[in-house]
Structure 1
Amino acid sequence: MTKIVLVTGGTGLVGRAIEAVIDEEKPTNERWIFVGSKDADLTDLQSTRSMFDKYKPTHVIHLAAMVGGLFHNMNNNLDFLRKNMQINDNVLLLSHEFNVQKVVSCLSTCIFPDKTSYPIDETMIHNGPPHESNFGYSYAKRMIDITNRAYNEQYGSMFTSVVPCNVFGPFDNFTPGVSHVIPGMIHRLHETMYSKEPEKAQEEKTFAVYGTGKPLRQFIYSKDLAKLFIWVLRSYQSVEPIILSVDETAEVTIAHLAESLVRAFEFRGKLEFDTSKADGQYKKTASNAKLRKLLPDFQFIDFDSAIRETVQWYIENYDKARK
C-alpha cells in the first residue's frame, strides 16, 4: 500500500529541504504532497477539512505555524497563541478523523523553560515557564505535545513531535527583523558588500556583527534535518518528543559563524563586533543523546560546508529569496 504523506508548511525552509531529499530518493511506496498557505487556511476547520478530503493522507508532517521575529512575538503574544493553537488543533483533529496512521509535528527549542539547566533534554519541556517574550508561541507549541499524548491515550494515535535546534539553509527567510541569526547575517553581509556605500572599495567596508561574538549555538543544516524528519516518520515509534540536533561538541560561537560567512562570501573588508548590542542568551545547549542512541551513525554535514552551500544558494537566488 502506498503511503500518502502530506507536509503542511511544505513551501518553507524545512519543507523545501524534505522535498529535495525525497526528490533524490524517489521512493516507490510513498507519495509526498507539499502544501503551503495558498492551499488551505489551517486556522479554519472547514478549509483544513477540504484539504484533507482532497489528498486523503495516510501520514502527515506538520510544519505549518504562525512565526515571527522577537519583536513581532513580543507585541502579538495573543495572536501567536490563538492562531497556532487553531492550526495545531485542526491538523490533529482532521488527522484523527481521516485515520492518519502517523503525524510528526515540529516544535522548537524556545518552548523549553527560561530558567533551566544545560544541556536541555526532552524531559524538561514542561518544567517551567518559557521566556516571557514569546510565551504565546511557546505554549501553543507545548500544547502539541499535550494533545499528542491525549490522542494516544484515548485513541492509540501515533501522533509525535520533534524539537530541532537552530535550522538554516536554502529557502530560509532572510527578511530583516523576522529572520533568525544566520539568514539575517547573510542578508546584512550581502547588503554590506553590494548595496551599502557602493562608491567604496570592498576592502574599505566593515561588516559589524551584533554583540561580542562569544555566545554559543547549535545549528543544523536543513538537509540534515530533512533526513531526520523522514527517519522519524518511517522509524520512530513513540509519542514522546525527540530532539533533532547536532552534537554538543558541534556548538559554534557567533564569531565562528561570522568568520565562516566572511570566507563563504570572500568578503575582503573588515569584520568587527558591535559590543553596544546585546549578546542575548549565552548558550542554549540541547542534548541529542536520545537521537544518538537510536541513530548512532548519522553523519551531519560539516558546518562550514553547509554555510558555503547556503551562501551560494542565496547569491544564485537573490532575486527570489524571501527578504
Structure 2
Amino acid sequence: MSRILVTGGSGLVGKAIKHVVETEPEGSPFAKRAGEEWIFASSSEADLRDPVATEALFDKYKPTHVIHLAALVGGLFKNMKYKLTFLRDNSLINDNVLRSSYTHQTSKVISCLSTCVFPDKVEYPLNEEKIHIGPPHDSNFGYAHAKRMVDVMNHAYKEEFGCNFTSAIPTNVFGPYDNFDLEDSHVIPGLIHKCVLAKKNGTPFVVAGTGKPLRQFIYSYDLAKLFIWMLRNYDDVEPVILSVGEDEEVSIKQVADAIVKAVGFEGNYSFDTTRADGQFRKPASNAKLLGLVGKFEFTPFDQALDETVKWFVTNYDNARTGSKK
C-alpha cells in the first residue's frame, strides 16, 4: 500500500497531478495504480510553517511518499517587495516537511524547486550542475535561496540518514487552476485575466514590460505526468529539470499575442515599457530528463494556452482571481 501525500495539493501543480491520476486511462504509466492512495493537502488543513501543525498532518496521514509542492509564491513584483517573507516562510515550510518526512520514515520525497534557484550570471543553458555556482537574480533573492536550501538539505539527509529525498526543477508552469490574480500572479495567468477583462470591458490590453524577455513554459498537466514518473522511477538525490527543450523558448510578446488570439480580443493592445522585465532569459536544458525518461510528448504551447484560456473563462467565478474588477 502506497499513501502519497501531496502538499500544496490545491495549487496549480497539485490540481494537475490530481487531474492526471484520476483521468489517465488504465494502463497509462501516469494512471493511479492499485494499492495507491493519493492525498492532496491544502494550506487550510495545516500551516506548514508551524512544525507542530506539520507533524500533526504527517501523524494523520502517515504517508509513504511525499510530493512537496507547498510554498509561498508570487509574481515578479511581490518577490521583489517581500524578500525576507519569501525567504523565511519558504525556509520554514521546507524544513518542517523534510523533518516530518524523516521522523515518519517516509520512503521518498520529491520537492518542487524553480529555475529561479540558478545563478543570475551563468553560462546557458542551465543544467542541474549549475545551481550553486553563483548568487541568484536579485528579483527572486528570498524565494530562490529558500528553494536552493532544499537541495542542500536533501543531500544532508541522504548523507546523514540515508533518506531518499530529491527535487524537481520545473521551468515556468501554467494551466488550469493557476492563480489568475491581477497583481499577484505569474505572467501567463495574469495576462489571461487582464485580456479577458479588457475584452469584457472594452478597455485596452496593456502588458507590463517590453515583451522581449524569453521563457520556457511547461503545461501543468505535462509537469504532473513528469512528477508521477519521478515518483515511480527516479531515486537519485540530484535534482532533475522538468522542462520543454531550450529550443522552445517564447518571448513575452509571443505569449501576449497568443493570449489575444485565444481570448478573441480585438481592442487596443500595447506594452508599458516603463515596467520592469526581470531576467531577460534563462534557458534550461532538459537533456538529463530525456535521457532518463526517453520519449515524452509535450503538449504544444498554443494548444495548452488555448485550453487554459477556455478553462479560465468557463470557471471565472470560481477561479483564484483576487480582485475581479
Distance 2:162 2:114 in 1: 25
Deviations for 1:265-284, whole angstroms, at most 9, x for unmatched residues?
12223433333434332211
Counterpart for residue 17 of structure 2? 18
What secondary structure, in the 3-state scheme, does the structure 1 residue paired with 2:159 have?
helix
AA aligned to 1:3 is S
What secondary structure, in the 3-state scheme, does the structure 2 residue paired with 1:6 have?
strand
Distance 1:260 1:73 in 2: 26
Greater CA deviation, 121-130 or 264-273?
A: 264-273
CA gap of 1:274–1:74, structure 2 versus 1, over 3 A, is: closer
What secondary structure, in the 3-state scheme, does the structure 1 residue paired with 2:129 have?
helix
1:69-88 counterparts in 2 under 5 A?
Answer: 69-88=75-94
Distance 2:169 2:153 in 1: 16
Displacement of 1:196: 4.8
Deviations for 1:9-34, whole angstroms, at most 9, x for unmatched residues?
00000000000001012421211000
What secondary structure, in the 3-state scheme, does the structure 2 residue paired with 1:124 have?
coil
Percent of residue pairs bearing the same amino acid type: 58
Counterpart for residue 240 of structure 1? 238
TM-score, scaled to structure 1? 0.94
Is structure 2 residue 201 aligned with structure 1 residue 189? no
Counterpart selection for 2:292 from 291, 294, 311: 294
Displacement of 1:155: 1.3
Counterpart selection for 2:252 from 251, 254, 258: 254
Is structure 2 residue 281 aligned with structure 1 residue 283? yes
Distance 2:220 2:33 in 1: 20
AA aligned to 2:310 is Q
Instruction: Structure 2: give runs of 5+ residues left out of the alignment.
Output: 24-30
Counterpart for residue 144 of structure 1? 150
Distance 1:284 1:264 in 2: 26
CA gap of 1:98–1:78, structure 2 versus 1, over 3 A, is: same
Counterpart selection for 1:93 from 93, 96, 99: 99
Distance 1:241 1:232 in 2: 10
Displacement of 1:73: 2.5
Distance 1:75 1:168 in 2: 23
Is structure 2 residue 124 aligned with structure 1 residue 118? yes
Counterpart for residue 164 of structure 2? 158
Deviations for 1:45-75, whole angstroms, at most 9, x for unmatched residues?
1111111111010000000011223333233
Counterpart for residue 305 of structure 2? 307
Is structure 2 residue 270 aligned with structure 1 residue 264? no
AA aligned to 1:234 is R
CA gap of 1:77–1:210, structure 2 versus 1, over 3 A, is: closer
Distance 2:146 2:306 in 1: 34
Equivalent residues of 2:76, 2:186 under 8 A apart:
no
What secondary structure, in the 3-state scheme, does the structure 1 residue paired with 2:125 have?
coil
Displacement of 1:223: 0.1
Runs in 1 of length 4+ with deviation above 4 angstroms?
Answer: none
Equivalent residues of 2:171, 2:218 under 8 A apart:
yes
TM-score, scaled to structure 2? 0.93
Is structure 2 residue 221 aligned with structure 1 residue 215? no
Displacement of 1:118: 0.8
Counterpart for residue 71 of structure 2? 65
What secondary structure, in the 3-state scheme, does the structure 2 residue paired with 1:122 have?
coil
Counterpart for residue 54 of structure 1? 60
Greater CA deviation, 16-25 or 261-270?
A: 261-270
Is structure 2 residue 115 aligned with structure 1 residue 109? yes
Displacement of 1:116: 1.0
AA aligned to 1:159 is F
Distance 2:224 2:274 in 1: 37
Equivalent residues of 2:124, 2:284 under 8 A apart:
yes
Deviations for 1:241-273, whole angstroms, at most 9, x for unmatched residues?
110010111111222211211121122234333
CA gap of 1:72–1:20, structure 2 versus 1, over 3 A, is: same
What secondary structure, in the 3-state scheme, does the structure 2 residue paired with 1:32 have?
strand
